[in-house]
């Protein structure tokens, strides 16, 4: 197909399936919330400052990711390493902050079984967290062993990083909706 690599079409089809996966959970959330007699305000139960910090971390990591790709497009491999390294570090930072949040809840014996609200909170943020972990593994691979491809086939390597980037921006996009829906409303 002209102008469209298999990897790009493939990653978009995968992201389409991800939209359906998260869509099912958002749909479930809406139904449970509208069907419930009362629903707690997210900010009264969850830590908004920590989640705001995590939102900023994830947005920043999205920029460093796209900068990593742009660096390869400009033939600057050193810069790519720097931006990709930052992306992985920021993603790890997100998980550390999330870990603190989970830790504080578990300390107070709050689990998914506590209430429907917490069941939804742990399920949706947990699934999102798994996606962050997946992003760390993929981006970590392209940061170190996977980057060997740059020497032999830079165009293909740039394409792979672009696909990894599309996935990473999607993970950011999901959080952009999760944050207000769970924490602020």
Partner 1 sequence: MSHDVAEIQKHVRLYVTVFAALAAFTVVTVGVSYLHLSTMPAIILALTIATIKGSLVACYFMHLISEKKLIFIVLAVTLLFFVLLLFIPSLTEGEAIFKNLRHVS
Chain residues in the site for partner 1 (CB under 8 A) = 1, 3-4, 8-9, 12-13, 16, 19-20, 23-24, 26-27, 30-31, 34-35, 43, 48, 52, 55-56, 59-60, 62-63, 65-67, 70, 73-75, 165-166, 169-170, 172-173, 176-177, 179-181, 184-185
Shortest distance, CB of residue 71 to partner 1, whole angstroms? 9
Our CB check for partner 1 shows the closer of 73 and 104 to be 73
Supply 174's token pair: 């999901």
Our CB check for partner 1 shows the closer of 27 and 111 to be 27
Shortest distance, CB of residue 57 to partner 1, whole angstroms? 11
Our CB check for partner 1 shows the closer of 113 and 160 to be 160
Our CB check for partner 1 shows the closer of 110 and 181 to be 181
Answer whether 128's CB lies under 8 Å from 171's CB: yes
Shortest distance, CB of residue 2 to partner 1, whole angstroms? 9
Our CB check for partner 1 shows the closer of 14 and 144 to be 14
Q: What is the DSSP string of the chain?
A: -TT--HHHHHHHHHHHHHHHHHHHHHHHHHHHHHHSS----HHHHS-HHHHHHHHHHHHHHHHHHHHHHHHHHTT-HHHHHHHHHHHHHHHHHHHHHHHHHHHHHHHTT--TTS-HHHHHHHHHHHHHHHHHHHHHHHHHHHHTGGGGHHHH-HHHHHHHHHHHHHHHHHHHHHHHHHIIIIII-
Shortest distance, CB of residue 171 to partner 1, whole angstroms? 10
Shortest distance, CB of residue 37 to partner 1, whole angstroms? 13
């Amino acid at each position: 197909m002209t102008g469209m690599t298999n990897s790009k079409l493939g990653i978009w089809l995968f992201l389409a399936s991800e939209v359906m996966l998260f869509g099912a959970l958002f749909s479930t959330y809406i139904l449970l919330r509208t069907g419930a007699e009362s629903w707690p305000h997210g900010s009264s139960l969850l830590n908004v400052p920590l989640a705001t910090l995590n939102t900023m971390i994830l947005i920043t990591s999205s920029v460093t990711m796209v900068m990593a790709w742009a660096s390869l497009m400009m033939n600057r491999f050193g810069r790519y390493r720097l931006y990709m390294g930052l992306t992985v570090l920021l993603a790890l930072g997100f998980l550390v902050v999330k870990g603190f949040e989970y830790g504080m809840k578990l300390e107070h014996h709050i689990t998914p079984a506590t209430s429907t609200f917490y069941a939804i909170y742990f399920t949706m943020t947990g699934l999102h967290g798994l996606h962050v972990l997946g992003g760390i593994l993929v981006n970590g691979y392209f940061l170190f062993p996977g980057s060997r491809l740059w020497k032999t086939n830079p165009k293909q390597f740039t394409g792979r990083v672009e696909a990894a980037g599309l996935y990473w921006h999607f993970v950011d996009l999901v959080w952009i909706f999760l944050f207000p829906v769970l924490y602020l409303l």
